[in-house]
Structure 1
Amino acid sequence: MRYAFSERGGISELSQASALKDIDVRREGQQGGRLLLLETEQTEADNIIQLVCAAYVILEGFPVIKNPPAYGFELSDDEADREITFENLFRSDGLFQWFTYGHRLPVAVAIAAEAWRNKKLIYAIHKLAQSYETECVTPWSMHPLSGQVFEKHTDNFASHVGTSVAINLAYSAIEELDLGVKASGEVPRSIGEGTFVWNPKVLGPFKGRLRKAGIDPERTIDWVTRGDQSEVPVYEMLNQLSEHSDGVEVRDRQVSVPDTINFCEYLRNTMTAHAFSSKTNRLGPYEVYNVQQVARFLILSKCNLWNTWTEELRKRYS
């Protein structure tokens, strides 16, 4: 009873269970929301619910649902007992607010379905969702028309820790997909010390793993760079401006997928994963956003749900 939907797509929502007594008979063509019912044991049901909620965070690129449901509620097979549960539990303030809806929940359910038999992918989704929960910015604030919205750096020590944790979690999600750079002292990733010129012995197999995951290694991702040129030295290697860049305030670059992953690992390895260096305080919201966006693209691509429309989903699962 918390949500009502009209045939034309309109949605109404009640924030308090006490408002239920004021509801008249639903208007013609309007129907109430439906519960997600899972016929399984409690632990598995909770894991499914938590995975759907984590997938929803990734889809939005921002934790828009406050206090998402973390576990399910048992429903009796007896109809009279179920009605008592609805009256005394589901329609009472407290748990009533836990029931949630979002436009992209069907896609989040599809992500959970794709990931369910792949524990590494499940962990990747949860890690990236936790990264967003730790620190993130709204995706629309990164639009080129917005220019530089945020201060790039801060002297706040606690903020340095939050930024580092968010980057570590996002890159760890990439590693769960087996899409990190695999190099060693014997087979280094770069040709020449201090460069980002790929060693073909590393890049070739890396591209093969990307293709196996359903990702085109030649595809580019916009690496967001705003304001004065005060980033870490890695950015000096990025010279292909995106189509919306003006080269001054908006200096976004188009970077190939292997290079973006390599740069994410560079940030993690040299500035966030170990004892902080003098460069750590040069990290900020734009670096967090970039690493999260790379992980987000890889996860959705791995699930075969990147740029997938609802109508396409309906055909796929019908």
Structure 2
Amino acid sequence: MTLINVQVAKVTQEAEGIRSFLLAKKGLFKLPPYAPGAHIDVHCGEGIIRQYSLCGDGKDRRHFQIAVRQVHPSRGGSDLMHSAVKEGDWLEIGSPRNDFPLDETAAHTVLLAGGIGITPIIAMSDRLHALGRSFVLHYVTRSVTHTAFRDRLCNSGYGDKVRFHEGLPAAERDAVIRSALSDPVSGGQVYMCGPGPFMDAAESVALEYWPADAVNLERFAANAAFSGAPTHAFQMRLSRTGLTLDVAADETILSVLDANGISAAFSCEQGVCGTCVTDVIEGDPDHRDSFLSPKQRCAGKQMCLCVSRAKGLEIVLDL
């Protein structure tokens, strides 16, 4: 994978615990184009790679903008971005990847963001506004001081389409989510991003009212509902070589591939980033990731190798 060198041109405190980073490309070459929902791999230092959504001006080919929330406890990435990275530093990043694409032709779009989940959502709202499309944005945060990009949203030209829900108790938050999602529009789409409890509530409600292929989501942390689920041993067959490998109940597909010297791309190892998504040729995946959409899970044509398993005794993968 080719890496891009960028310089941190500006660091801004966007909200309590949230900083944005404006990354500049020096020299004659422009940064790669991207569409709303895209993210980049950021090499934060000390061998740590994290994925951050692009939330800046998509027409600006000289800069990328990301925002990072300080997480406690941190797995390393947010600590480094908040304490070690400063203006003038150089970082290595990957090219934009989009696993959360926006349907720009939808009859109406409901955007739902929780906390730092605003990062891909604000790029979507900017784009929909530029296209003159019908949409509404609901933004749920712990308090006004935790609301990132508040001024930007209010002064965006579409402030009348933004609904701020700040400092609500859990019951009121859930009521807001239900209200936002309980009136489905034919030909419409829903896009949701945020922390675990928020996403659990939002996904459940969305699937009550909207068809699965209209519900689009991106998580920043693994879905706790899948942890501790029972496991069983199974076999995986690699379609390109015909090799069959045993996966024990306490092993993952990814770990077995690695133990047998078979290379497969991966990053987070939590079923969040989508780096290890692989096509399924035969078999029924037991999806335990937080990356694939409800529509993709129902189709059963792809799976995340780091956490997902086989429901039956064998699965055939495009490896």
* Normalised TM-score (structure 1): 0.28
From the two aligned structures, give the one with the greater helix fraction. 1
Give TM-score scaled by structure 2 length.
0.28
Greater C-alpha Rg: 1
The structure with higher relative contact order (CA 8 Å, sep 6+) is 1
